[in-house]
Amino acid sequence: MSLPRELRLTRSRDIQIAREKGTRTNGGPFLAFFWLPPEDSREPVPLPPRLCVVTSRRVGNAVLRNRARRIFREIFRAQLEALPNGTQVVIIVRRSFPNYSFQDLQERFQKVIRWWNKQREPVK
């Protein structure tokens, strides 16, 4: 099952903005950029969280790169409720990716999401 079209971040401009303006965090075998556009610039109908997975040739051959994309799409799909509508997530897979199990990647992604959600909470 592929990631539905409305959950994909595909336009290069959107990806570039998420990487430039988003919050960058290190997840070990991946880097994650989270970008939530300001309230006034959002679509009138809120978009669901969207994902882009970037895998360069440094990650490995085509089989490994495709595996990385499938794994991160599945992890993202399972964590949709933890992300507010309109969130744009860019994952950059690192060369060390094959050394980690699915369970470890899932735990690391959850930890990164929890960290990001704490960062965006207003200070009381």
Does the pLDDT of residue 68 top 70, yes or no?
yes
pLDDT attached to residue 119 = 83
Q: DSSP secondary structure string, the chain?
A: -PPPGGGB---HHHHHHHHHHSEEEE-SSEEEEEE---GGGS-SSPPPPEEEEE--GGG-SHHHHHHHHHHHHHHHHHTGGGS-TT-EEEEEE-TTGGGS-HHHHHHHHHHHHHHHHHHHSPP-
Averaged over 63-89, what is the pLDDT?
Answer: 93
Lowest-pLDDT range of 21-30, 66-75, 79-88, 113-122? 113-122
Q: Does residue 123 fall inside a structural domain?
A: no
Averaged over 73-80, what is the pLDDT?
Answer: 93
Domain ranges, residue 25: 5-115
Is-contact 50 36, C-beta < 8 A? Answer: no
pLDDT attached to residue 123 = 52
Q: Does residue 41 fall inside a structural domain?
A: yes
Q: Does residue 120 fall inside a structural domain?
A: no
Does the pLDDT of residue 103 top 60, yes or no?
yes
Q: Does residue 16 fall inside a structural domain?
A: yes
